[in-house]
Amino acid sequence: MSASPSLISGSSLGSSARLKRRKFASNVFAAICAGTTFLALFMLLWLLWGVARDGFGALNWNFLSSMPSIRSAARAGIKPALLGTLWVIGGTILFSVPIGVGAAIFLQEYSEGNRFSRFIQINIANLAGVPSIVYGILGLTMFASFPLLRGTILNASLTLGLLILPIIIISSQEALRAVPSSLRDGSYALGATRWQTISRQVLPVALPGILTGIILAVSRAIGEAAPLLLIGGAGFITFIPHGPLDHFTTLPIQIFQWAEHPKEAFKQLSAAGILVLLFVLLSMNGIAIWLRSKFNKRMS
């Protein structure tokens, strides 16, 4: 028994109406997403314009090469904070990158997916969302309890290394997981061992993705002030750090100190310090992006 023409036309009209409602809802959602994106970009550009407007006047060579001052804004500089930031971030990279990439290789290539490895994976994912101040408390408990490490560059590097370690592990695992399994199978078919396959085939292909994760992790670490203040980072020093056991200050700490100063001239120094911090961050990211592009071209 065939359906009547009226029933067929009614069902087609109903499906057409549902399709129109879905298209309308899709367009509304796309418009909301585009609006929020443009709003976020506008706020970001507005903040950057405010910082640049206030900071460019105080940004000069004397500002970069002088010691800080809490009395005279005209003589205040950022040299100890700039070098302290480079020391701390360098130590953080040396500590966290080998451990993070090594842990990702073990979890992705060597673990068998048992309960223990799944338990580790869940905890790493949870640690990636822990507030930075908690890592400051952890660094204060683990490292600052030793008098030799209290308030030193090594203490700060280890604390920030713990902070960005989950990010590096997760991003490195995703990069390793994206490598086609056929590459591993072909290497094993030619008689290569597991380590030879990982080191000579898998890692070179996954390296651009790993570097991307490292860029994101270091970008988070370079702007942290709360955990460093908690472990004893100095707000004001008048000497240059020369080793991992020296006391330090960093650009975020120095910027925070100037920002809360009652004199308006120090607010301009704070904006100039933000510009220096952005330049350091973009420079480090640029180097990492250049390395990633170089490895991409080599693999092509």
Judge if 206 and 280 occupy the same domain: yes
User: Tokens standing for 162?
Assistant: 């713990």
Question: pTM (2 decimals)?
Answer: 0.82
Give how many domains the chain has, as a whole number.
Answer: 2
Q: Do 57 and 51 form a contact (C-beta atoms < 8 A)?
A: no
Judge if 49 and 88 occupy the same domain: no
Judge if 107 and 124 occupy the same domain: yes
Judge if 49 and 126 occupy the same domain: no
Query: Given 58, 74, 92, which residue is the final one in a domain?
Result: 58
Judge if 159 and 252 occupy the same domain: yes
Rounded alpha-carbon distances, angstroms, from residue 23 to 27, 78, 241: 6, 55, 61
Judge if 78 and 51 occupy the same domain: no
Beta bridge partners of 180: none
Judge if 212 and 283 occupy the same domain: yes
Judge if 54 and 76 occupy the same domain: no
- Phi and psi at 77, nearest 5°, equal -130, 180
Q: What's the confidence (pLDDT) of residue 131?
A: 87
Q: Under DSSP, is residue 24 helix (H, G, I), strand (E, B) or coil?
A: helix
- Which pLDDT tens digits describe the chain residue by residue (300 residues)? 455 555 455 556 567 777 888 888 888 999 999 999 999 999 989 988 988 888 888 888 888 888 887 777 777 888 888 888 999 999 999 999 999 999 999 988 888 777 888 888 888 888 888 888 888 888 888 887 777 777 888 989 999 999 999 999 999 999 998 888 888 888 888 888 888 888 888 888 888 889 888 888 988 888 888 888 888 777 777 778 888 888 888 888 888 888 887 777 788 888 888 888 888 888 888 887 887 777 777 666
Judge if 81 and 222 occupy the same domain: yes
Q: What's the confidence (pLDDT) of residue 1?
A: 46
The answer for residues whose C-beta is within 8 angstroms of residue 173's C-beta and 6 or more apart is 104, 107, 108
Q: What's the confidence (pLDDT) of residue 95?
A: 92
Q: For residues 216 and 253, what is the distance between their CA atoms, to the nearest angstrom? A: 21
Judge if 122 and 138 occupy the same domain: yes
Query: Given 42, 58, 74, which residue is the final one in a domain?
Result: 58
Q: Do 232 and 246 form a contact (C-beta atoms < 8 A)?
A: no
Q: What angle do CA 17, 21, 26 make, to 5 degrees?
A: 145
Q: What's the confidence (pLDDT) of residue 5?
A: 56
Q: What's the confidence (pLDDT) of residue 8?
A: 53
Judge if 67 and 117 occupy the same domain: yes
Range of the domain at 280: 61-299
Query: Given 18, 41, 58, which residue is the final one in a domain?
Result: 58
Q: Under DSSP, is residue 42 helix (H, G, I), strand (E, B) or coil?
A: helix
The domain spanning residue 97 has which CATH number? 1.10.3720.10
Find tokens 């056991």 and name the residue: 245
> Where do the H-state alpha helices sit in 131-238?
132-142, 153-177, 181-189, 194-197, 203-222, 226-230
Judge if 51 and 147 occupy the same domain: no
